[in-house]
Chains A and B, each alone.
Chain A
Amino acid sequence: MSFTLLGCGFLRHLDDPMQTLEAMLRPKVASLPGHIQAVYVQNAAKLFATVLQKHEGATDSQAAQDTSQLLIERLPLFVQSANLEVQERASCILQLVKYIQKLQQKDVEVAEEVSALFAGELNPVAPKAQKKVPVPEGLDLDAWINEPPSESESEDEKPKAVFAKEEPKQSRARHVEVDEKELARRREARKQEQANNPFYIKSSPSSQKVYQDAPGVEHIPVVQIDLSVPLKVPGMPMSEQYLKLEEERRQKERADKKKKDKKKKKREKRGKGKRDDSGPESEEDITPAHQVDIVTEEMPENALPSDDDDKDPNDPHKALDIDLDKPLADSEKLPVRTHRREVLKSPEEDGDQDGITQEAKRRSSKEKKEKDRKKSKEEEKKKKKKKHKHVVEEEPPEPLSEEPVQSEESAEVAAPPTSTSAEASDLDFWLSSAPVPPPIKEALAPKTSIAAAPDSEPDVPKDAEPDEEKSLKNKKKKQKKEKDEKKKKKRHHHHHHHGDGGGGDSVQNGTVEEEEEEEPLPPMSNYCLLAENSYIKMVYDIQGNLQDGSQVVVSVIFENKSNSFLKSMEFNVLDSLNSKLQRPEGASPHDGLVVPFQLPPGVSNEARFVFSVQSIVMPQKLKGTLTFIVKSEDSSTHEKLDFKLHFTCTSYLITTPCYSDAYAKLLESGDLKSSSLKLEGLNMPFHHLLARICFHHHFSVVERIDSCASMYSRSIQGHHVCLLVKTANQTVSIDAKCDEPSLLANVLDEIKQTFSQC
């Protein structure tokens, strides 16, 4: 319908415009779709212009006025139309007609001007048209018209962060961005893959057929339809004829061009054969039938042509646009192969295996009270295979302390696999002499919450410790000094915590946050003094036995302070109802256990004694005696040293890892008694605090968020102990839950004591 009306635009050919006008403005038209109505209205106006022109002259003024009246009556219906375009056009034309009517009543000649309104052709609007309108002087489009909204309200919403510190939220924005970019990238990659993949069934093979059919348009038979009204508009070519005319014109131009080119190229390339001018090449040169002068007529005032706007500086394909005919500029140089030198990395750097920065904190024994204890036992380097194939070498600073001390002290040195030459030989020696099972690891280092290897070997018998040579001992001392200077921190990487490195994230058992700025842990030792006299000094440590819930192992380090030989040492403890020293078969409770080694002057060694305990909820103190013979060059004397062996409740606790789900379940069950503790005036950094608790009291960190951590431990008899450690300013509050209230109270007391001492 709308197309026929467009034809109405050629109104000079209409016989009776008046009739058409009436027909077009019938109320029934309002039921047509909006875009058709708009065309109707527009053409009604055109018709009106023709009518006016036809009835030019005073004689037919009545007819002209009648037409105007007709329009004025019929147009308001369209002014009320729901379609905006119709409404706009109708109201414009209505006002125009009203004005014309006024002029008509004054007998002014309006026909010329009205038809001038519809003269000329409308060209399509370019997409850049709006952009080209120059901004008039003095207009700032970015200035606020009204007052900008006040920005201050947002600060009042959260005066204090309720759940730990607020962290910057860029992580999420980044996440979204990455997604979109990722999507675009993936889409591109996918498309490229599919384009080259012969096995990929492309979407529409039929579309190709369509293109093939295009030249076959002429094969479509044209049927002549008998119409009562001829479709031909005189003076203009019909649609098919129009296309034919256009085609002929193009061919003519092409032929002209070819003649020109052939003349040129015949001279240059003879005998080259037929040249095939590709279609698109020549069509560009053919002048179009219809020219629109943009610059003078169509552009808004003061606008500049912007053909260069298309060149996007960020266009990834901009390199395709380079004019290859121009010679290389001086700034454009092609890369030439030259000889390069690789800077070799120093062997130390290779030591950071797999990109893991491992540092071990070397515990300097100088801090301990047993400073004068000479290490006669070599430090052993053990290799431990971790889950992710990261080789970690550990070095216990304590010569005689095997796994228990190691686990607690976490003294690890990141020794490169290719150790320095001085240590290489030692490495082999240590490895061959004492193959030690993987040590127990405790969650010690800052923010590490790992208890990787199970505490399964605290009781590996280490009786066959060879006696030391002085030379080896001196060498070891030197090594120790080297390592003392290294002072590194230990890092475990089970898996990286992606994304947010900062606070606010909970660090769970098995994850690590990389924190470069943390202070190193102070050296710690679990060995306490048992007894001391002028000849000998004993320090001890108690460890629970995982396998047997009723056994604990006391490791005692004997140090010979004198210049004489100590031998035949016997260790005896007065049993109590609860705890008994495990003696060999057949021995009476009054017999002591022979210490299986002798101590030359200045040498230390370690012995282990197993005790069986029944109830672990209370701490215990057992009296004991050590008898030994001091053998000097001229004489032998019997000596005796009394001591009190103190079994704390923490000595019955074993570091056990616990995952947060299991932990939550445990706490949900509700059969735990609770208690709490507050420590005032504690200045140490949080990770130190955690490390100390873990180390001295055999806890493992379950989850840690900023300045709040939940910890777990288990006694040898299966009691659960859960801690929640929170620090605020100078106060540390520890909430604890345990199956056994007395155990709980004792453990808390011991924790309190630990921190009161430091």
Chain B
Amino acid sequence: MIKAILIFNNHGKPRLIRFYQYFAEDLQQQIIRETFHLVSKRDDNVCNFLEGGSLIGGSDYKLIYRHYATLYFVFCVDSSESELGILDLIQVFVETLDKCFENVCELDLIFHMDKVHYILQEVVMGGMVLETNMNEIVGQVELQNRMEKSEGGLSAAPARAVSAVKNMNLPEIPRNINIGDINIKVPSLSPF
């Protein structure tokens, strides 16, 4: 299973952080720093797999990373995941990002954080890999975008909620409930 997905830039600034196992906030920050130290020291022509730092679980977990220009994509996985598979997954993720945002750059990860998380959720959910086919993922993301647009986005949500409630067909509520000696009068709810 994938324990964490970290994306940070060449200076160690985190751009996207996703932990699939609970860590306290400060521990998360320490993990990010430690991972950055481990990964930034590596030359470009050495192996992309290394053992996790002590904070993240030590030698039981591996860090699989890829370095693109200014960003490091680091996946922390345990022994059940195939390293080469995860390496390819990183590539798929990046290519998907590139397709969804034209000319993707670091700042896109911050600016369109919600979209990036949607894409990531299509790929990995709860630490498990869901989808590895790039076209599938892109298709799903586009579908979601279309639905968002048709619904009018977030601003239209309250209006839709109200109309949905209005259209609710509630069954008849009895006015009086008589059980034995007990009489309960049910108050009427006025439609709004």
Q: Is the CB of A163 within 8 A of B68?
A: yes
Stretch at the interface among B52-60, B103-111, B162-170: B103-111
Residue of B nearest to A733 (CB): B102
A15-23, A433-441, A592-600, A664-672: which one contacts chain B? A664-672
**Chain A, 692-708, CB within 8 A of any chain B CB:** 703, 705-706, 708
Q: Which of A329-337, A338-346, A721-729 contacts B (4 or more CB under 8 A)?
A: A721-729
Give CA–CA (A58, B157) in the complex, Å: 117
Contact check: which of A173, A504, A660, A664 meets B69 at CB < 8 Å?
A: A504
Q: Which residues of A contact B97 (CB under 8 A)?
A: 162
* A250, B114: Cα distance in complex, Å: 89
Known: A504-B70, A505-B10. A667 touches B102 (CB 8 A): no
Q: Nearest-CB distance from B96 to chain A (Å)? A: 11
Residues on A with C-beta less than 8 A from B108 are 708, 724, 726
Interface residues on B, range: 20 to 34
The one of A163, A165, A673 in contact with B104, judged by C-beta atoms closer than 8 angstroms, is A163
Q: Quick one: which of A647-670 are within 8 Å of B by CB?
A: 660, 663-664, 667-668, 670
Q: Identify the interface centre among B106, B107, B154: most chain A CB within 10 Å of its CB.
A: B107
CB pair A169 B44 closer than 8 Å: yes
Contact code string A158-174 (vs B, CB < 8 Å = 1, else 0):
00011111110100110
Is there a chain A Cβ closer than 8 Å to B183's Cβ?
A: no
Distance A505 CA – B70 CA, assembled complex (angstroms) = 7
Given A505-B10, A506-B9: A164 and B110 interface contact (C-beta under 8 Å): no
Closest to A740 in B: B155
A162-B98, A663-B110 given; A705·B70 CB < 8 A: yes
Query: Is B129 an interface residue when CB atoms closer than 8 A count as contact?
Result: no
Q: Which of B23-44 contact A (CB under 8 A)?
A: 40, 43-44
Give per-residue flags for B53-93: 1 if the beta carbon is below 8 A from chain A beta carbons, else 0. 00000000000000011110000000000000000000000
Pair A726/B69 contact, Cβ less than 8 Å? no
Decide: A728 and B105 in contact? CB cutoff 8 A. no
Q: Considering the chains assembled together, what is the distance between the CA atoms of A173 and B111 in angstroms?
A: 32
- Per-position 1/0 for B153-182, Cβ under 8 A of A: 111000000000000000000000000000
Which of B94, B97, B112 has the most C-beta atoms of chain A within 10 angstroms of its own C-beta? B112
Q: Contact check, B68 vs A710: say whether CB atoms are below 8 A apart.
A: no
- Once the chains bind, are B107 and A710 in contact (CB under 8 Å)? yes
Q: Report A148-182 residues with CB < 8 Å from chain B CB.
A: 161-167, 169, 172-173
Q: In the complex, A677→B110 CA distance in Å?
A: 18
**Is there an interface contact between A673 and B153, defined as CB atoms closer than 8 Å?**
yes
Given known pairs A166-B69, A670-B114, the reply for A728 and B10 (CB within 8 Å) is: no
Which chain B residue shows the least CB distance to A728?
B103
B107 touches A165 (CB 8 A): no
Check B106–A673 contact: CB distance below 8 A.
no
What residues on A are CB-neighbors of B68 within 8 Å? 161-163
Nearest A residue (CB) for B68: A163
CB neighbours of A741 from chain B (8 A): 155
Decide yes or no whether A490 CB sits under 8 A from chain B: no
B95 within 8 A of A: yes
Interchain CB contact under 8 A, A724 and B71: no
Contact B105 A163 (CB under 8 A): yes
Chain A residues with Cβ below 8 Å from B112 are 724, 735
Residue pair A167, B69 in contact (C-beta under 8 Å): yes
- Which single residue of chain B is at the shortest CB-CB distance from A673? B155
User: In the complex, are the beta carbons of B69 and A164 less than 8 A apart?
Assistant: yes
Smallest beta-carbon distance B136→chain A, Å = 20
* Chain A, Cβ-Cβ closest to B94: A162
- Within 119-163 of A, Cβ neighbours of B (below 8 Å) are at 161-163
Chain A interface bracket (under 10, 10 to 19, 20 to 34, 35 or more): 35 or more
Q: Is the CB of B103 within 8 A of A726?
A: yes
Residue A709 at the chain B interface, CB threshold 8 Å: yes
Which residues of chain B are near A722, meaning CB under 8 Å?
A: 111
Cβ-based interface call for A737 (8 A): yes
Q: Is the CB of B110 within 8 A of A664?
A: yes
Q: Are A726 and B10 in contact (CB under 8 A)?
A: no
> In the assembled complex, which residues on chain A have CB atoms less than 8 Å from the CB atom of B43?
172-173
Alpha-carbon distance A505/B153, docked complex (angstroms): 34
- Cβ-defined contact, B107 with A709, below 8 A: yes
In the assembled complex, the CB of A168 is this many whole angstroms from the nearest CB of chain B, namely 11
Q: Among A167, A664, A733, find the residue whose CB has the most chain B CB atoms closer than 10 A.
A: A664
Inter-chain CA distance A281–B144, complex, in Å, is: 91
Q: Give per-residue flags for A501-527: 1 if the beta carbon is below 8 A from chain B beta carbons, else 0.
A: 000111000000000000000000000
Is residue B113 within 8 Å, beta carbon to beta carbon, of the partner chain?
A: yes
Distance of A668 Cα from B16 Cα, bound (Å): 11
* A171 nearest CB neighbor, chain B only: B10
Residues of B within 8 A of A506 (CB): 9, 11, 13, 70, 106-107
Residues on A with beta carbons closer than 8 Å to the beta carbon of B102: 726, 728, 733
In whole angstroms, how far apart are the Cα atoms of A318 and B110 in the complex?
A: 58
A709 partner residues in chain B, CB cutoff 8 A: 107
Are B71 and A163 touching (Cβ within 8 A)?
yes
Interfacial chain B residues near A724, Cβ < 8 Å: 107-108, 111-112
Of B10, B43, B113, B153, the most chain A CB neighbours within 10 A belong to B10
CA of A705 to CA of B105, assembled, Å: 8
Besides A164-B106, A173-B43, A708-B107, 15 other A-B contacts (C-beta < 8 A): A161-B69, A162-B69, A162-B94, A166-B69, A172-B43, A505-B10, A506-B107, A660-B110, A667-B111, A668-B113, A705-B107, A710-B107, A726-B105, A728-B103, A733-B102
- Residue pairs across A and B with Cβ atoms less than 8 A apart, 11 shown, are A162-B95, A166-B69, A505-B11, A506-B107, A664-B113, A667-B110, A708-B105, A710-B110, A724-B107, A728-B103, A733-B102
By a beta-carbon cutoff of 8 Å, the part of chain B in contact with chain A is 9-11, 13, 40, 43-44, 68-71, 94-95, 97-98, 102-108, 110-114, 153-155
Nearest 4 A/B pairs, CB to CB: A708-B105, A724-B111, A163-B69, A163-B68
